[in-house]
Chains A and B, each alone.
Chain A
Amino acid sequence: MILDTVASLGRLVLETVGRVGYAARIFFALLGASVGLIRRPRLITDQIHFIGNYSLVIISVSGLFVGFVLGWQGYYILNRYGSEQALGVMVALSLTRELGPVVTALLFAGRAGTSLTAEIGLMKAGEQLSAMEMMAINPLQRVVAPRFWAGVISMPVLAAIFSAVGVIGGYIIGVRLIGVDEGAFWSQMQAGVDLWEDIANGVIKSVVFGFAVTFIALFQGYEAQPTPEGVARATTRTVVISSLTVLWLDFLLTALMFS
């Protein structure tokens, strides 16, 4: 009984290490295949349009609602201590340091990540990737790498849009609806938000999330069993693994950046 448990635990560890090693191999192959894209930037811009542009609505709407909630909650908490003038800086710091990069990455995993996994998985199931290989075209270079870099580039831009729209949401609720002084709202924000400490660290976070989420989504699609069930499972795995990875990386980066 104990021996069986140890054996299955050992098997699990071996499988996990093997899978992580394989993923690392694909990641480096992907980086190697990306060199050729320098001569064909159009492949990346097309994907930025597809991945980034189509995520814009969900990111903007979510950012607005998160801003609304921050404005409301922030006002009631700060009001207890007579500091409602600091609402602007609170909303901006919450968004640029944490909520912007994290919520954008989670939404990106659900919107663009699943779509990437399903697209690559179905291409594999329909033998399109094999067909490309037989045409002497590396699918990692032609299909996977442009999507990867498009995801990495789109993520910080989307996070910035999320934060900007969120600040507007906080302004609408805090200033327009509740009546916090408009001058205090903006001036405290301007004084309290540091370009490097807050905004740059937020951008670094979203770039890291961009690497992680896009690679997970593409890897799951590339390694999916070429069946409807296999693609469905891969899509689910993308959301679960990406979400957990984003939260884990956020903890790690926050500890490194702000401790």
Chain B
Amino acid sequence: MPNLVEIRDLHFSYGIRPILSGLQMDFPRGKVVAVMGGSGSGKTTILRLIGGQLQAQTGTIKFDGQMVNARDTRKMYAMRRKMGMLFQHGALFTDLSVFDNVAFPLREHTTLPEELIRDLVLMKLHAVGLRNAAQLKPSEISGGMARRVALARAVALDPQLIMYDEPFAGLDPISMGVAANIIRRLNDALGSTSILVSHDVHETFLIADYVYFLSQGKIVAHGTPQQMQESNDPYVKQFVHAEADGPVPFHYPGRSLAEDLKVEVRS
């Protein structure tokens, strides 16, 4: 099967508020696929649906040929052992050291001896450049470093799928470049598949093989980063070139300024 994850005709809503409608997406094995779009476009929801933390109303998600069903807890837990996820702010366990955070999934899911766990953790931390920060607490490291530790933890069990939720948000340019480089290198070294949710065009286009653009819960464009750069789609153009106004209006929709100020506009 060429695709590790397949989404077909997916609809999801919170109560009566629709979030995603009619999604069709493919995530081929070994590739880094980016999902881009403005805030509130439903990007993170896609990751939560793939991870089985949410259940779609209609449509299907297949992971490694198996149907994702959030209601089947036992099956979901088995499936998640093949997944790793990097949360937006790292979500490190604040009472554990950097070392223990990375060791956590290994200790929970394996019966490896402590010496081997130590070696594996140090190797994972080495891969993200933080081997020498192993004994620090999450409160003693920067946001960028926390993200890298979380990444080392996410790949601790060498997952088939790694999901990244806004890995570049709030990072300085150096940390951003480092994070992008690590994501690509890890994906290729582990032979895994990566789903990258981001709205950082520059870094994402550098490392992604394929990009989906999402607006108001729908796919509005998709293709290679090169194709997206050259796209004439108004939404993609506005997003890629960071234009203030366009299909995504600058003003929040509602009453006009003239109506609010109770003045008549001369025609």
Binding site for B on A (CB under 8 A): 126-128, 130-131, 133-138, 142
Instruction: Taking A127-B88, A130-B91 as given, write out 5 further A-B residue pairs in contact, using a Cβ cutoff of 8 Å, ordered by the A residue number.
Output: A128-B92, A131-B85, A131-B150, A134-B53, A134-B84
B108 in contact with A135 (CB, 8 Å)? yes
| Cα distance A142–B109 in the bound complex, in angstroms | 12
Give the most central of A137, A138, A142: most B CB within 10 Å: A137
Contacts of A130 in B (CB 8 A): 53, 87, 91
B89 in contact with A135 (CB, 8 Å)? no
Q: Closest B-chain residue to A127, C-beta based?
A: B91
CB distance from B49 to the nearest CB of A (A): 13
Chain B 76-87 near chain A by CB (<8 Å), digits 1 or 0: 011111011101
| Cα distance A70–B91 in the bound complex, in angstroms | 50
A136 in contact with B53 (CB, 8 Å)? no
Q: Closest B-chain residue to A137, C-beta based?
A: B108
Contacts of B80 in A (CB 8 A): 133-136
Contact of B267 with A by CB under 8 A: no
| Cα distance A225–B242 in the bound complex, in angstroms | 34
B89 in contact with A142 (CB, 8 Å)? no
CB distance from A209 to the nearest CB of B (A): 27
B91 in contact with A126 (CB, 8 Å)? yes
A134 in contact with B51 (CB, 8 Å)? yes
Contacts of B91 in A (CB 8 A): 126-128, 130-131
CB distance from A18 to the nearest CB of B (A): 15
Pairs of residues from A and B, 7 with the lowest C-beta to C-beta distance, nearest first: A131-B91, A136-B80, A127-B91, A134-B85, A136-B77, A136-B81, A127-B87
CB distance from B108 to the nearest CB of A (A): 5
CB distance from B106 to the nearest CB of A (A): 10
| Cα distance A218–B91 in the bound complex, in angstroms | 20
Contact of B94 with A by CB under 8 A: yes
CB distance from B89 to the nearest CB of A (A): 7
Contacts of B83 in A (CB 8 A): 134
| Cα distance A60–B14 in the bound complex, in angstroms | 50
Contacts of B93 in A (CB 8 A): 128, 131
A126 in contact with B94 (CB, 8 Å)? yes
Contact of B104 with A by CB under 8 A: yes
Contact of B105 with A by CB under 8 A: yes
Contacts of B94 in A (CB 8 A): 126, 128
B87 in contact with A136 (CB, 8 Å)? no
Query: What are 26 A-B interface contacts by the 8 Å CB criterion?
Result: A126-B89, A126-B94, A127-B87, A127-B89, A127-B91, A128-B93, A128-B94, A130-B87, A131-B85, A131-B93, A133-B51, A133-B53, A134-B51, A134-B80, A134-B83, A134-B85, A135-B80, A135-B104, A135-B105, A135-B108, A135-B109, A136-B77, A136-B79, A137-B109, A138-B77, A142-B108
Contacts of A128 in B (CB 8 A): 91-94
Q: Closest B-chain residue to A119, C-beta based?
A: B95
CB distance from B15 to the nearest CB of A (A): 15
Contacts of A138 in B (CB 8 A): 77
Q: Closest B-chain residue to A131, C-beta based?
A: B91
| Cα distance A138–B109 in the bound complex, in angstroms | 12
Q: Closest A-chain residue to B156, C-beta based?
A: A135
